[in-house]
Amino acid sequence: MPILNKRTASGFDLNHLELRQNPGSAFSKILERGPVFQSRLPIMGTSWVATSWEAVSETLRNTQDFVRDPRIAGRKNQIWIQRILPRKFKRLFLNNMLTRDGQDHRRLRTLVSQAFQRQNINHMEKRIEAIAIQHLQGMESDLENPAGGIDFISGFCRPFPLAVICELLGLPESDRPKFMNWFSGMSRVRSATGILKLLPMMNRTLNYLEEQFALVRKHPRPGLITSLVEAEAEGERLQKDELLSTALLLLLAGHETTLHLLSNSLLTLLQLEDEKVALTRDWSQAPATIDEILRWTSVIHVAKPRFVNRDREFHGQRLSRGEIIIPCLGSANFDPQEFVEPTQFQRNRSPNRHMTFGSGPHVCLGMNLALTEARIALRAIFEKWPHLDIAFNLEKPDFGRRIGMRTLNTLLLNPNP
Ligand code: HEM
């Protein structure tokens, strides 16, 4: 089946394998459909899709015309997946900064934003490095039996960012193996039913977080969950549901996306030998290389849906208030109006205004953390195992089908080929 289904004229298959196998050519096809088009999408239903860099940027930055909260745009109903969620989960999924607009959004973001500012992340560098090295040492026992390669997803790419975000939140180290078990199904969500299957895991996580909040209320400890509890105690700054919802968002967004940045970075560098050689000779190129990996692989395909807040003309289409519009970050990353030779990997692109972290007021809060983790992890990996190589058929990486993301189920590598 093609990515754009001819039978429905504009059906965009957001789950298509080609978006993972060959993002450049796949997203270029999406761009050919025009800067804004209408499609039926999984989970969201009939929606507009913004594809060009300009259209995506405006959808994310123009907060008067495009909002996150459907009620502001005059819709009674959330998108249908939110309608079918049990009340408890709806409350807890929909009470964080990512689902709010304006003043409310600023209040929730400001409560935690300081911890994610560049200078504070810089202070954590030594600790992040120690965590990376500790995890790589932990993989050494797997080397005794490397037949078929070692899986870097379960061995490093998930546990390392999970450990970092747990430390930032102030969650006990002894609980991390439990999270590994709970969260491993997250990368496999392909549909609305898949989301519903995650609910027992979400329930366990929420109960766990509630226990942790109860503990830090009695005995505060370093970390963000204590700061959140203190803000809740002041009442006006944070409500109870917002407290849980924010901690859940940070825990999940703080490791699931970075996991896929790390796996995509390893895959790209092992696929493009010249890039690996250039980087391992000169680590000062790491920030530019990682930015280009974020663009070229487009780890996140789409941002969260926005709701049209007034009838308007938009890039040749007539949008009506209350309709859904999806900013397609992947196609924006391959827009030739913004990027010269967009399908080429060019580590020296300047500027490189890729959209993988989003844009506007909801731009990724954890961007500095994710970039720092990737830079430190890649250096630690290639310094430990300079000959690291792929242990699977290079033509067939084990891509996952998690909707809207370029995920890998496994990444089998051979540290000492
Ligand atoms: C490579 C790694 C990451 C990528 C590609 C990524 C991508 C994104 C994107 C695209 C958005 C905007 C969504 C939208 O506007 O609809 C976002 C928001 C967000 N990200 Fe990340 N993210 C990453 C890592 C992280 C990390 C490590 C954290 C740490 C906690 C984090 C926390 C957040 C939060 C809290 C928001 C919501 C911000 C707001 O609504 O104001 N992310 N991220």
Residue 315, φ and ψ in degrees, nearest 5: 50, 50
CATH number for 387? 1.10.630.10
Q: Is 387 helix (H, G, I), strand (E, B) or coil?
A: coil
Query: How far apart (Å, rounded) are the C-alpha atoms in residues 385 and 152?
Result: 13
Query: How far apart (Å, rounded) are the C-alpha atoms in residues 337 and 25?
Result: 16
Residues 47 and 327: beta-carbon distance below 8 Å? no
Encode 134-154 in three state secondary structure: HHHHHCHHHHHCCCCCEEHHH
Bridge partners (DSSP) of residue 151 are 412
**Which residues have CB under 6 Å of ligand 1?**
60, 97-98, 109, 165, 249-250, 253-254, 257-258, 261, 299-300, 303-304, 356-358, 362, 364-366, 369-370
Residue 417: DSSP 8-state? -
Q: What is the pLDDT of residue 3?
A: 72
> pTM of the prediction?
0.95
Widest CA span in the chain: 63
C-alpha 329: how far from chain center: 11
Weakest-pLDDT range from 140-144, 283-287, 353-357: 140-144
Our CA angle for 80, 86, 89, nearest 5°, is 95
Atom of ligand 1 nearest to the CA of 327: 16
CA 319 to centroid of ligand 1, rounded, Å: 27
Q: What is the pLDDT of residue 414?
A: 93
- Return mean pLDDT, the chain: 91
Atom of ligand 1 nearest to the CA of 251: 30
Strands 324-327 and 45-50: parallel
| Residue type, position 329, single letter | L
24's tokens: 């450049």
Bridge partners (DSSP) of residue 300 are 405
Nearest protein Cα to ligand 1, atom 42 = 366
Q: What is the pLDDT of residue 189?
A: 64
The predicted model gives 113-127 an average pLDDT of: 91
Query: How far apart (Å, rounded) are the C-alpha atoms in residues 355 and 348?
Result: 17
Going by C-beta distance under 8 Å and a sequence separation of 6 or more, which residues neighbour residue 317? 36, 37, 38, 48
Residue 348: DSSP 8-state? T
- Confidence class of residue 76 from pLDDT cuts 50, 70 and 90? confident
Nearest protein Cα to ligand 1, atom 40 = 98
Q: Is 147 exposed, middle or buried (0-12, 13-18, 19+ CB in 10 A)?
A: exposed
Q: Using alpha carbons, list the distances in angstroms from residue 90 to 86, 182, 205, 298.
A: 6, 20, 15, 29
Query: What's the domain range around 99?
Result: 4-414
In 141-228 the beta strands, taken as DSSP E runs, fall at 150-151
The order of strands in the sheet holding 306-308 is: 36-41, 45-50, 324-327, 306-308, 66-67
251's tokens: 């825990």
Higher pLDDT, 405 or 236: 405
Q: What is the pLDDT of residue 80?
A: 67
> What are the tens digits of pLDDT across the range 306-342?
999 999 999 999 999 999 999 999 999 999 999 999 9
| Residue type, position 239, single letter | Q
> What are the tens digits of pLDDT across the range 210-264?
999 999 999 999 999 998 998 887 766 788 889 999 999 999 998 889 999 999 9
Q: Nearest-CA neighbor of 92 among 197, 200, 202, 208?
A: 202
The predicted model gives 151-171 an average pLDDT of: 95
Atom of ligand 1 nearest to the CA of 68: 16
> Best of 47, 257, 266 to mutate for ligand 1, by most ligand atoms within 8 A of CB?
257
CA 247 to centroid of ligand 1, rounded, Å: 14
The predicted model gives 203-213 an average pLDDT of: 91
Residues 69 and 96: beta-carbon distance below 8 Å? no
304's tokens: 């969260």
Query: How far apart (Å, rounded) are the C-alpha atoms in residues 311 and 321?
Result: 5
The predicted model gives 271-275 an average pLDDT of: 97
Domains identified in the chain, total number: 1
At residue 131, does pLDDT exceed 80?
A: yes
233's tokens: 């105690």
Query: How far apart (Å, rounded) are the C-alpha atoms in residues 197 and 203?
Result: 11
